[in-house]
Amino acid sequence: MPSDRIEDYGLIGDCETGALVGRDGSIDWLCWPRFDSPACFAALLGTEENGRWKIAPIGDAVVSRRYRPRTLILETRFETAAGSVLLIDFMPPRGTDSDIVRLVVGESGRVAMRMELVLRYDYGRVMPWVHRLEDGSLRAIGGPDMTVLRTPIETHGEDMHTVSDFEVAAGETVPFVLAYCASHRPVPEPIDPFAALADTEAFWTEWTARYEPAALDGKIDLPEPWHQAARRSLITLKAMTYAPTGGIVAAVTTSLPEWLGSTRNWDYRYCWLRDSALTLFALMNAGYYDEARAWRDWLLRAIAGSPEQMQIMYGIAGERRLLEWEVDWLPGFADSKPVRVGNAAADQTQLDVYGEIMSLLHQARLGGLPESPEAWSIQVSMLERLDDIWREPDYGIWEVRGPPRHFTLSKLMVWLAFDRCIKSAEIFGLDHVPLEKWRAIRSEVKGDVLARGWNAEVGAFTQSYDDTALDASLLLLPMLGFLDDDDPRVRLTVEAIEADLLVDGLVQRYHTSTGHDGLPPGEGTFLACSFWLVEALVLIGRLADAEALFERLLALRNDLGLLAEEYDPIGGRQLGNFPQAFSHVALVNAAHRLAAARAGSGDRSEELQKGEVPA
């Protein structure tokens, strides 16, 4: 059976798609050729019969694993009574076709192994035709998809599975390569798995060598465990960046549940403007500006056209139609139904995305990314649109499925959008814009938020206007520069959220029991919000508390340093889509802010998020 613990999985990928490999040596999730393609291994959301590829010793083994340092190459070690075997899994940077390479390396003794390949295209449903080719490789074709398995050892068919029983002795290596291409194309050329390993290692180590945590007065030094954690998160974010277009997916999975057995199961294999913008903040603060430029260009293509038609999310190449439907033949992870493909949130109005985009583009300018005249003119028309709609209710950062409301964070982000564009115009001399009008709207929005978002009786900014409920999204308040650092309303809001929304020290987004989000109650604590609390605590001067919480959060990562969207502190398990960009972004930002605060300097992100020019 596939694992029922999300943290049992590790990620491999080629920056166009990603696969999840279990501790048991089984690849239980893979969408080929793109992140959002139908899965050919979908056991994660069903059973082995929905597709998986397992290589493991026959019988009991003690399992340990790690990533090869500074790479996305996964090493799973199986120690058995007969000896030890290392399984090396990776996807080489994409050439013409896409490949998964699995190397079975004998380390000691002689170990009996079994390989079992169950290919089921179209989310576990379509059984392909399998033929042996003249060179001995196996070709599996079904509809638009073709995969080809190459290995020097013998394989045979058993109950519609391709299997092989073999032995590996100390010093021997048995390679397996599974290649994908469209079924109308010629069979992919074979690759050399050992050369591919060297290329893949070089690709990732060169990329990670560019990591430079930035501070206002130069480099910041992170303590080694934090540095390692942030680096692993950055590698994970890079792996979720679709190289051909620069689009960034929110996660590589669909429908891992936010609560076991619940219906809160969503498809995250798309580019949310919010999640992507926050990812870019983290990448830029780590010195990665190429990705920022690629994403800005992706954004300009995706939202090109009329600003009224701007969506809050797109496909990885900028596709607009992300129709949500249910995969009724998959039972779901740990029986959590439905499995969804597509995401109806694509049609929502969420005002906060304007703030995140404007803030990101302003930060990119401050960081020296060359100016793009198209970017500025799109920003100007987006603000015109925002002026038309900001007084309307929206669905908010949490994409509620209940009725729209005046979410306080949404309005704060409207303020941010105008503020950052005003600052860009002032600092960079970007003219031909109605600056006075923008300044007037910024003041109007601020007055509105202070009058209706602040509740003096509760002593906090609340989830929505004229409301009493709290919301963890307002932990972002201290980072925006909306109020002075020493304004008591900032500290009071952080403390009120701490008092009301913590479960065993971790942060819930809001109380789902109110039913306001239009969904049945119950979900885990939200990891990104918990990291935001770390940053908020730093900013209100509680460094020791911030550090303690950060260390606690680091300990929640799985053995490979990966995080899902949520965590259940009672059950002690990760929940939600995996690995999730939001969680990893928040980890990197919290690490940088803490390290800078420890060293007594403002970190770059702090000043840049306030939209100011570094000294």
Ligand X SMILES: OC[C@H]1O[C@H](O[C@H]2O[C@H](CO)[C@@H](O)[C@H](O)[C@H]2O)[C@H](O)[C@@H](O)[C@@H]1O
Q: Give the residues lining the site for ligand X (CB under 6 A).
A: 250, 266, 268, 272, 274-275, 343, 345, 397-399, 401, 582
Of the two residues 137 and 512, which places its CB atom closer to ligand X in the complex? 512
Q: How far apart are the first and last CA of the chain?
A: 57
The structure tokens listed for 505 are 């020290």
Q: Whole-number minimum distance, CB 224 to ligand X, in Å?
A: 30
List 482's β-bridge partners, or say none.
none
Please identify, using beta-carbon distances, which residue of 195 and 503 lies nearer to ligand X.
503
Of the pair 48, 275, the CB lying nearest ligand X is at 275
Looking at the Cβ atoms of 104 and 588, the one nearer to ligand X is 588
Beta strand extents in 191-260 (DSSP E only): 214-215, 218-219, 241-242, 247-248
CB of residue 408 vs ligand X: minimum separation in angstroms?
15
Of the pair 80, 255, the CB lying nearest ligand X is at: 255
CA 320 remoteness from chain centre: 20
Q: Which two tokens stand for residue 485?
A: 């650092």
Q: Shortest approach of ligand X to residue 521 CB, angstroms?
A: 12
Q: What sign does the dihedral 403-408-409-414 (CA atoms) show?
A: positive
Q: Hey, which bits of 388-477 come out as E strands?
A: 454-455, 460-461
* Cβ nearer to ligand X, comparing 397 with 597: 397
User: Measured from the CB of residue 343, what is the shortest distance to ligand X in angstroms?
Assistant: 5
Nearest distance in Å: CB 345, ligand X = 4
Paired tokens of 110: 């002689």
Q: Between 240 and 425, whose beta carbon lies closer to ligand X?
A: 240
> Which 8-state DSSP code applies to residue 267?
B
Contact, 97 vs 187, CB < 8 A?
Answer: no
We find the least distance from the C-beta atom of residue 332 to ligand X, in angstroms, to be 16
Q: Do 137 and 210 contact (CB within 8 A), yes or no?
A: no
- Give the Å distances, CA to CA, from 172 to 111, 374, 428: 11, 56, 61
Tokens of 476: 């972002």
Phi, psi of 427 (to 5 degrees): -75, -40
In whole angstroms, how close is the CB of 258 to ligand X at the nearest point? 7
Cβ proximity of 168 and 181 under 8 Å: no
Give the nearer residue to ligand X in terms of CB position, either 208 or 276: 276
Q: Which is nearer to ligand X, 266 or 438 (CB)?
A: 266
- What residue ranges in 464-589 does DSSP mark as E strands? 502-503, 506-507, 525-526, 566-568, 573-575
Q: Which is nearer to ligand X, 341 or 425 (CB)?
A: 341
Closer to ligand X by CB, 148 or 271: give it. Answer: 271
The two tokens of residue 496 are 């009120």
Closest CA to 262 of 566, 580, 469, 503: 566
Cβ neighbours of 63 (radius 10 Å)? 17
- Min. distance of Cβ 582 from ligand X in angstroms? 5
- Report the C-alpha gap between 497 and 419 in whole angstroms: 26
DSSP H or E segment with residue 118: strand 98-118
Any residues with CB less than 8 A from the CB of 143 and at least 6 apart, and which?
A: 121, 122, 126, 183
CB of 407 to ligand X, least distance (A): 11
CB of 251 to ligand X, least distance (A): 7
CB 71 → ligand X: shortest distance, Å? 26
Minimal distance, residue 313 CB to ligand X, in Å: 8
Give every CB contact of residue 297 below 8 A, 6+ residues apart in sequence. 246, 372
Cα separation, 200 vs 206, whole angstroms: 10
- What are the CA-CA distances from residue 243 to residues 109, 365, 443 (Å)? 42, 23, 40
Closest distance to ligand X from the beta carbon of 311 (Å): 13
* Beta carbon nearer to ligand X, 56 or 529: 529
- Which of 211, 578 has the CB closer to ligand X? 578
| Comparison of 274 and 516: residue with beta carbon closer to ligand X | 274
| CA distances from residue 545 to 446, 541, 601 in whole angstroms, order as listed | 30, 9, 18
* Identity of the residue, 376 or 582, whose beta carbon is nearer to ligand X in the bound complex: 582
Residue 104 parent element (H or E):
strand 98-118
Query: Measured between alpha carbons, how far is 563 from 552 in angstroms, rounded to an integer?
Result: 13
How far apart CA 225 and CA 273 sit, in angstroms, is 31
Q: How far is the CB of 559 from ligand X (least distance, A)?
A: 24
Cβ 341 to ligand X, closest distance in Å? 12
Q: Which helix (H) or strand (E) holds 483?
A: none
Other Cβ atoms closer than 10 A to 263: 17
